[in-house]
């Protein structure tokens, strides 16, 4: 397989680190450019063993996607593939800082699109979230807007060779702010705090997310939203998997929180092709026949649920920062 030059925004995040590791292990990259705001996290990244061994293929740029001039400087003409994972993601933080969230998640995405078009980058991929589907919080609304910008870029690009697509999936298992690290920390407490006893969630590991994104980059033609098929779990089963003897305290749903995650809305199903392990949502065209079905792909109606022992095994495999349970 041909080696490519990659440019990764949010390059010090958990997804980006694992994605870069995947590229190196599979010998897919000629050059990798890391673009992020935090100099300290970049210094830590440079100390990771697999990066130290391959440091000659790396370039590190301090910068913010809000700064179009800096993006234009860092994103060189020889880049083949851009992976856009930079975003403000914590729901409570984004609700309290709406202007900053818009600047990063929307304006930052627009800046990247414009610079990518100017540089005639071949493939540009946005990493999106389930919260962009029928959004009820600001974070989801900004990611929905970013998705729309990316898909629309394929229309107004003109003669440019650039192609823009989206990969959308749910919370990564063990990610910061997600429920599993919270429950694991609460193992020392008298009870687990649960916002709603009926809550369900999709489950995706970081390894699977990275492999899925890489697969989508290879197959993308521009305009697609790629969605993986994932197993679900019940929030009460998750609590039992971590400690079946601990009591549950229901504390009420938080602002901007859904009871069930949704990855494909009922309105999107008319333009969706279902495959064995994924869905591909294609752009809606004018005068397209409406084959809408009253169905959405969400964590509640999902036919594939994890049982308690499966959840326990996944936690012990994927959550390395905590003691084995």
Residue with tokens 């809408």: 292
- In DSSP notation, 138-161 reads HHHHHHHHHHHHHHHHHHHTTT--
Tell me the two tokens of residue 224.
């697609």
Tell me how far apart the alpha carbons of residues 126 and 109 are, in angstroms, rounded to a whole number. 8
Average pLDDT, stretch 3-11?
97
Tell me if 187 is assigned to some domain. Answer: no
Backbone angles phi, psi at 195, to 5 degrees: -80, -35
Average pLDDT, stretch 159-165?
95
Residues 6 or more apart whose Cβ sits within 8 Å of residue 28:
1, 3, 4, 22, 214
Looking at residue 204, what is its pLDDT?
94
Tell me if 98 is assigned to some domain. Answer: yes
Tell me if 307 is assigned to some domain. Answer: no
Distances (CA, A) of 265 to 254, 282, 306: 22, 13, 22
Tell me if 139 is assigned to some domain. Answer: yes
Tell me how far apart the alpha carbons of residues 229 and 273 are, in angstroms, rounded to a whole number. 12
Tell me if 266 is assigned to some domain. Answer: no
Average pLDDT, stretch 117-129?
97
Q: Which of 261, 270, 273 is nearest to 297 (CA)?
A: 261
Tell me if 251 is assigned to some domain. Answer: no
Number of structural domains (the chain) is: 1
Tell me if 194 is assigned to some domain. Answer: no
Return the bridge partners of 32, or none. 6, 58
Range of the domain at 12: 4-171+204-228
Among all residues, which ones are annotated catalytic?
Answer: 131
CATH number at residue 21: 3.40.50.720
Distances (CA, A) of 65 to 77, 80, 146, 230: 17, 18, 13, 30
pLDDT tens-digit map of 201-246: 999 999 999 999 999 999 999 999 999 999 999 999 999 999 988 8
Classify residue 305 by its DSSP letter.
B
Tell me how far apart the alpha carbons of residues 54 and 298 are, in angstroms, rounded to a whole number. 40
Average pLDDT, stretch 186-196?
90
Average pLDDT, stretch 52-71?
97
Tell me if 105 is assigned to some domain. Answer: yes
Lowest mean per-residue pLDDT among 76-90, 117-131, 275-289, 295-309: 275-289
């Amino acid at each position: 397989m041909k080696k490519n030059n990659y440019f990764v925004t949010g390059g010090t995040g958990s997804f980006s680190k694992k994605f870069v590791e995947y590229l190196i292990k599979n010998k897919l990259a000629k050059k990798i450019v890391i673009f992020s705001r935090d100099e300290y996290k970049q210094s830590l990244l440079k100390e990771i063993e697999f990066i130290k061994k391959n440091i000659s293929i790396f370039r590190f740029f301090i910068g913010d996607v809000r700064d179009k001039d800096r993006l234009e400087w860092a994103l060189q003409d020889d880049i083949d593939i851009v992976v856009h994972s930079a975003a403000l993601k914590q729901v409570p933080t984004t609700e309290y800082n709406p202007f900053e969230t818009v600047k990063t998640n929307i304006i930052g995405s627009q800046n990247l699109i414009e610079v990518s078009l100017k540089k005639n980058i071949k493939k540009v991929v946005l990493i999106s979230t389930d919260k962009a589907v029928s959004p009820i919080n600001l974070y989801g609304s900004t990611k929905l807007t970013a998705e729309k910008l990316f898909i629309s870029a394929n229309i107004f690009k003109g003669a440019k060779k650039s192609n823009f697509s989206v990969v959308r999936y749910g919370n990564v298992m063990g990610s910061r702010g997600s429920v599993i690290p919270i429950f694991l920390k609460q193992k020392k407490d008298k009870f687990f705090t649960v916002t709603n006893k009926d809550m369900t969630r999709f489950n995706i590991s970081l390894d699977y997310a990275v492999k899925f994104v890489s697969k989508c980059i290879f197959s993308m033609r521009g305009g697609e939203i790629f969605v993986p098929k994932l197993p679900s779990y019940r929030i009460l089963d998750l609590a039992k998997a971590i400690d079946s003897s601990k009591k549950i305290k229901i504390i009420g749903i938080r602002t901007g929180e859904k009871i069930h995650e949704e990855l494909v809305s009922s309105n999107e199903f008319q333009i969706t092709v279902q495959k064995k392990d994924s869905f591909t949502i294609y752009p809606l065209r004018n005068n397209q026949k409406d084959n809408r079905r009253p169905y959405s792909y969400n964590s509640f109606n999902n036919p594939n649920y994890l049982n308690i022992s499966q959840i326990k095994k996944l936690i012990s495999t994927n959550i390395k920062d905590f003691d084995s349970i």
